Amino acid sequence: MRRLGLGGWVGLSLVLAFVLIAIAAPWLYPGDPQDRVGRALIWPFEDPALPFGTDRLGRDLAAGIAHGTRVSLLVGFAAAAAAITIGVVVGSLAGYLGGLIDDALMRLTDTVQTIPGFVLALALVAVLGAGVGTVILAIAVSSWTGTARIVRAEVSSWRERDLVLACRAMGMGHGEILFRQILPNIAAPVIVLASVVVAVAILVESALSFLGFGDPSLISWGAMVAEGRGLLRRAWYVAAVPGAAIVVVVVAISLAGDALTRALDPRRG
Amino acid sequence: MKPGQLGQVVRRRLAHAVPVLLVVALATFGLLKLAPGDAVDVLIATGGGGDAALAADLRRAYGLDQPWPAQLAHYLWRLVQLDLGYSFVHNRPVSHLIWERLPVSLLLMASATAFAVGFGIVLGVSAGQTPGGWRDRLILSVGLVLYAMPSFWVGLMLILIFAVKLALFPVGGFETAASDLTGIARVLDIAWHAVLPTVALALLFVSVYLRLMRAGVVEVASADFVRTARAKGVGATRILWAHVARNALLPVVAMVGVQAATLLGGAVVIESVFSLPGLGRLAYDSVLARDLVVLLGLLLTSAVIVIAINTVVDLVVAALDPRVVAR
């Protein structure tokens, strides 16, 4: 575990801290974070009880950040889990079965990579309505392609190795070979990729909610930045603080991902 | 690049594009059918109401009373004729709406790519010269933060610093409104407006390209031909740029194609931040107005743009690298 390095420790601790904040938000800041707690536009550090200050309607920005963590992490992890699942299924089917199915699935992957995920997300919002489910679905359907490619490459390289030949000689079924023998061996690159997908998902969610297409009933960092957009001249911190939260969480996830790369792959040091 | 090669690259890309676009068209048709209500409902809603008999007449007129395979065939046939449908919200054909706004988005994407590739190369070479050194670590850390910053937030912070506080650049817009500028003055005015959006869109990609360039420089630096060049007595600067950087550049150029879809998605957000009248603004307005026909037209157009960018990237790679004979 020494291989994690300073960056890795900082990243993992920050990710853990954000997870704890997300879990504890209802206790840290009970009640609705959209409620008025004081005068409008109190600057950060002006009032020790309101470390990030208040917005145009006197809402506590710190409470918003804490509750917003829930949406960011929920969407980030749920969308990444869905995307990785789709990617692993598509990639392993293509890599293991080969032939026509491989060609068809890879053509599908090419096609999805040709469609800008963000434009697709906007179309899905128009069809299904804004909501946290739409956001997760939109991110999941457009971010599985990288995983599918890597899994396909790894699985097809494992298919011809002695391990798999031995399993087949023992009379093991294809499902068992794929899921119990091959997939555990390629977990490392998939886990590393998962951290990238989580980071991208959090960024995409924030952009969607910035435009006002997030979940209207939930507070989220992107929507908070949008609130501050009209206040740049008078109170720039209203837009700056939630944006900084996004930067910190994404940096933390990237650092943690880099550390996992080193810890899981002894070949790269 | 040999003359015949250009045609070969383009032909291969086009052959690849047809099935891709067909699948995208099937997907957009599926979304159209999935949406509650159809074009006639939208028409009647925007036109201020109508009775069931009128709706039935209109459905027959538009072929919406036919079974869905017939509708699909009709839809595909219209697409082949470059007819993306009609927006009842704007009262204009979708293709006209898109065509008008296309140049703004393409300009933004091109300038952001140029900025990102340029800075990515310089920073990547600078970091890769001494892997593990302080400059390398500093540049990689900067890259990490650039990657983590949401572009819309970067845009707002740039507006705050350079437009609101320092008043060096305009807050938004494509050009100064009602200024009657022509010729070179207008070009300069547009360029002046484009600076902040370009930077806001490009920073994420700077981090992508600088990491690739750095990795390439580190890898190529230990290649035999570099050692040979050094042994021949070639100067360090010439080795760095003519030998190492030139070879490390190829994956960066190839990555521009891979990132094309992400770039277009980013442009959508940035256009909204800087009130630029491009495809992104059209997409934003269409979501608000639930103008699905326009959004699906945009989706198809985006796929075409991404394919076009990839074709250009293929040609550039083939021109840069004589080893790549059109695969």
Domains of chain A: 52-264 (1.10.3720.10)
For residues A28-46, give the mean pLDDT. Answer: 74
Residues of A with CB under 8 A from a CB of B: 107-108, 110-111, 113-120, 122-127, 199, 203, 206-207, 210-211, 213, 222, 225, 228-229, 232-233, 236, 239-240, 243, 246-248, 250-251, 254-255
Q: DSSP assignment, residue A59?
A: B
Structural domains in chain B plus CATH codes: 104-279 (1.10.3720.10)
Distance CA A152, CA A93 (A): 8
pLDDT of residue A269: 39
The one-letter amino acid at A214 = G
Comparing CA positions, the residue from B287, B294, B286, B293 lying closest to residue B62 is B293
CA distance A180 to chain B (A): 33
Distance CA B71, CA B26 (A): 12
- Residue B106, phi then psi, degrees to nearest 5: -65, -40
pLDDT per residue over A231-255, tens digit each?
A: 888 888 888 888 899 999 999 999 9
Q: What ipTM describes this predicted complex?
A: 0.88
pLDDT of residue A136: 92
Comparing CA positions, the residue from A117, A208, A228 lying closest to residue B272 is A208
Confidence band for A140, pLDDT divided at 50, 70 and 90: very high
pLDDT per residue over A43-102, tens digit each?
A: 777 777 777 777 777 687 777 888 888 888 999 999 999 999 999 999 999 988 888 999
Query: Over pLDDT 90: what percentage of chain A?
Result: 24
pLDDT of residue A148: 92
Tokens of A222: 């992107």
Tell me how many helices (H) and strands (E) chain B has: 14, 2
pLDDT of residue B327: 44
Comparing CA positions, the residue from A104, A170, B145, B164 lying closest to residue A180 is A170
8 Å CB contact between B43 and B88: yes
Give the residues across from A205 on adjacent strands.
Answer: none
Of B20, B23, B35, the CB nearest to A127: B35
Residue B65, exposed/middle/buried by CB under 10 A (0-12, 13-18, 19+)?
A: middle
Across the interface, do A225 and B283 touch by the CB < 8 Å criterion? no
Comparing CA positions, the residue from A205, A199, A242 lying closest to residue A221 is A242
Of A113, A127, A246, the CB nearest to B292: A127
Contacts of B137 (CB under 8 A, 6+ apart): none
Q: How many CB pairs under 8 A join A and B?
A: 142
Across the interface, do B148 and A117 touch by the CB < 8 Å criterion? no
Give the residue from B156, B160, B166 with the most A CB atoms within 10 Å of its CB, the best one to mutate: B156
Distance CA B195, CA B111 (A): 9
- Residue A265, phi then psi, degrees to nearest 5: -115, 95
Across the interface, do A251 and B302 touch by the CB < 8 Å criterion? no
Distance CA A236, CA B163 (A): 13
Give the residues across from A59 on adjacent strands.
Answer: A36
8 Å CB contact between A44 and A64: no
How big is the CA angle at B104 (ends B102 and B107), to the nearest 5 degrees? 105
Confidence band for A170, pLDDT divided at 50, 70 and 90: confident
Give the residues across from A19 on adjacent strands.
Answer: none
- Give one word for B82, left, alpha or beta, with left for phi > 0 and alpha for psi -120 to 50: left
- 0.90 exceeded by the pTM? no
How big is the CA angle at B198 (ends B196 and B199), to the nearest 5 degrees? 65
pLDDT of residue B48: 64
Tell whether the model's pLDDT for residue A39 goes beyond 80. no
Across the interface, do B299 and A239 touch by the CB < 8 Å criterion? no
Distance CA B161, CA B134 (A): 29
Across the interface, do A213 and B302 touch by the CB < 8 Å criterion? no
Give the residue from B16, B153, B298 with the most A CB atoms within 10 Å of its CB, the best one to mutate: B153
Distance CA B281, CA B271 (A): 6
Across the interface, do B150 and A110 touch by the CB < 8 Å criterion? no
Tell whether the model's pLDDT for residue A182 goes beyond 80. yes
**H or E segment to which residue B193 belongs:** helix B183-221
The one-letter amino acid at B50 = G
For residue B263, what is the nearest residue in chain A, using CA coordinates? Answer: A116
For residues A184-198, give the mean pLDDT. Answer: 85
Tokens of B256: 């521009």
Taking only residues 270 to 289 of chain B, the set having a beta carbon closer than 8 angstroms to any beta carbon of chain A reads: 272, 283-284, 286-287
Tokens of B219: 């890898």
Q: Which residues of chain B have pLDDT under 50?
A: 326-327
- Helix intervals (H) in A183-236: 187-210, 221-229
B87 three-state secondary structure: strand
8 Å CB contact between B204 and B149: yes
- In the numeric block, the tokens 């595909």 are attached to B76
Contacting residues of B for A111, CB less than 8 Å apart: 19-20, 23-24, 303
pLDDT of residue B152: 92
* Residue A3: alpha-carbon gap to chain centroid: 24
Residue A98, exposed/middle/buried by CB under 10 A (0-12, 13-18, 19+)?
A: middle
For residues A117-125, give the mean pLDDT. Answer: 88
Query: Over pLDDT 70: what percentage of chain B?
Result: 93
Distance CA A22, CA A118 (A): 26
Residue A71, exposed/middle/buried by CB under 10 A (0-12, 13-18, 19+)?
A: buried
Taking only residues 306 to 325 of chain B, the set having a beta carbon closer than 8 angstroms to any beta carbon of chain A reads: 306-307
- Residue A236, phi then psi, degrees to nearest 5: -65, -25
CA distance B183 to chain A (A): 34
Tell me the torsion sign for CA atoms A14, A20, A22, A26.
negative
pLDDT per residue over B109-138, tens digit each?
A: 999 999 999 999 999 989 988 888 899 999
The one-letter amino acid at B166 = L
Task: Quote helix, strand, coil % in chain B, to nearest 5.
Answer: 75, 0, 20
